[in-house]
Each structure stands twice: as structure tokens, then as C-alpha cells.
Amino acid sequence: MSKISSSESYVIWEEIIGKARLEDGREPLFRGYFEATIFAFENLRQGLSAKLAKELAGSGLEESALKKIIAESEHNKRLVSDAAADIKATLDRDSACNSPLEVFLFYKGFAALQSHRLANHLWLKGQKLLALLIQSHVSNCFGIDIHPAAKIGRGIMLDHATGLVIGETAIVGDAVSIMQSVTLGGTGKESGDRHPKIGCGVLIGPGAKILGNISVGAGAMIAASSVVLKPVSDHTIVAGVPAKVVGNTQTKEPSLTMDHHFRYNPNVD
């Protein structure tokens, strides 16, 4: 997956502003809303910071404290570039999405993921209780539970995202697409490193459960409602309960095409 540069982050923000101005002219009721959420900010960093403060405002922390926490994280430029990559990924892959403005304002998967990125930043700095507070708030508000220690790459699309659970030692590579009600969890019997490791370009279908410290190879596809208990090789399709290999992917990164169809191949072990 190509990197998102600071200039591309600027372009994305300009596209967001342009679409907001267009909609502002069509619907006067949005005027004050866009002024507060978009027009008041010069770039994605400022807009994202304000958005996170708003999203986390019910966590029990005062807004002034939230703004201070977020401002202190702003030196981490990756938070902004990753957010830009996530917006682009959602716009490119979600057929229901018409503009980056929609992703930025309304997609709770995007909001939860950016909140997780902030929580992970705090976790790595040793502010673990604060990170857990953010996790708890996001879980309560959005029904999306991502442990702040989980490592998540860039260019991620969380489609709908309701019911998503990602455990503490899980790792998700770049350019992964994850549908609703997915669990990257433990088996309940392990301690320590106990959660899945998802390779780059993987597509995980709705309702899939991947359990234990197992690897899912790059470019693999997990079919809807599958229960995965064993490692999955690169560019392999698995389906069923428990999941079994049913074929090989036709593209390098099925996460980009979002094609959940597959044809069972009895000759694939």
C-alpha cells in the first residue's frame, strides 16, 4: 500500500472542505454544523483533533483536559497520516460512500479507529489507565471494543464496525478490510500473547471469529460467519465452522476489491 504524504493529507482535507461548502449551499440547516466541524479548521490535524475531543467528550474527562491530551499527541504525525489513509481506504472500498466528508463526519468505524490510535499512543507512553478510559468510552458509545494495546496498521476500513472486538495482543497489518461483528479474540485458555495476527491486504467477512495466537497470511480472505482456529496461509480463502480452506484468492489484496464471493475448490487442502 502506498504511503499517504502530508501533501495528500492536505488534499483530502481540501476535498472535505469543498464537499462541505457544496452541501452548505444546498442545505442551509447545515451551516452552523459545518462551521463548527469543518470550516473552523485549516487542516486535517486540527479537524481531527476537534473531532476526537467531541467524540470522547462523554468519557468523564473535562473537555479542557481532553483538548490538552490530544494537543500533546499532535507531535505524532503518524496519527494524521494514518487517519488520511483510513479515509481514503473507506472511500475507495465502500460502495455506499460518496465523499471523504461522509467518512470524516459520520462513519463510526472511522471515529472508533482514530480514537483507538490515540489510545494506543497513550498506552505506549505509559498512560495506560487513560487509554483504557478511552477504550471503555468508545465501546459504550459505538459498540466497538478495541484494546488500546492492539497494533493496527494504516489504510484500514472498518465497515459498519458494530460488534467488532479486537484483543490486547492482536496485530492487524496495512490495507485490511474488516466487516461488522468480527472478533479477533483469544480462546479463553491462554495468557500472554493470545490473539490473532492479521497480514496485509486481508478481507474479513461479517461475523467471522478468529481465535487464538494464530496468523492469517497476507491477502487471505475469511468468509462470513467463519470460526478460524488454525493458521491461514497467504492468499487462501477459508470458510465454515470450524473454518477450512476452500480456495485461493484471485487478487493480491482482496481487501481492496471487497468481493466476498468464492467458488469451492475440492482440490485445495
Residues 140 and 11 in one domain: yes
Residue 158 forms part of a structural domain: no
Residue 210 backbone class (left: φ over 0; alpha: ψ -120 to 50; beta: rest): beta
- CATH number of the domain that residue 90 is part of: 1.10.3130.10
What are the tens digits of pLDDT across the range 184-202?
999 887 789 999 999 999 9
| Structure confidence at residue 91 (pLDDT) | 96
Q: Bridge-partner residues for 215, per DSSP?
A: 197
Residues 125 and 173 in one domain: no
Residue 149 forms part of a structural domain: no
Residues 138 and 180 in one domain: no
What are the tens digits of pLDDT across the range 32-63?
999 999 999 999 999 999 999 988 887 777 77
| Structure confidence at residue 267 (pLDDT) | 60
Q: One-letter amino acid identity for 241?
A: V
| Structure confidence at residue 199 (pLDDT) | 98
Residue labelled with grid coordinates 494464530: 214
Q: Give the H/E segment covering residue 165.
A: strand 165-166
Q: Please tell me the distance from the alpha carbon of residue 238 to that of residue 242, in angstroms, as a whole number.
A: 9
Residues 2 and 135 in one domain: yes
Single out the residue in 89, 112, 144 at which a domain terminates: 144
CB atoms within 10 A of CB 116: 25
Q: Which domain holds residue 66?
A: 1-144
With contact defined as beta carbons under 8 Å apart, do 162 and 143 qualify? yes
Buried b (16+ CB within 10 A) or exposed e, 14-48: ebbbebbeebbeeeeeeeeebeebbeebebbbebb
Residue 179 forms part of a structural domain: yes
Single out the residue in 117, 144, 171 at which a domain terminates: 144
| Structure confidence at residue 1 (pLDDT) | 44
Residues of the chain with pLDDT under 50: 1-2
Give the chain's domain count: 2
Single out the residue in 144, 175, 206 at which a domain terminates: 144
Residues 35 and 124 in one domain: yes
The candidate with the shortest Cα–Cα distance to 211, out of 226, 191, 200, 196, is: 196
Q: Please tell me the distance from the alpha carbon of residue 40 to that of residue 251, in angstroms, as a whole number.
A: 42
Q: One-letter amino acid identity for 247?
A: G
Whether a cis peptide bond, with omega within 30° of 0, leads into 254 is no
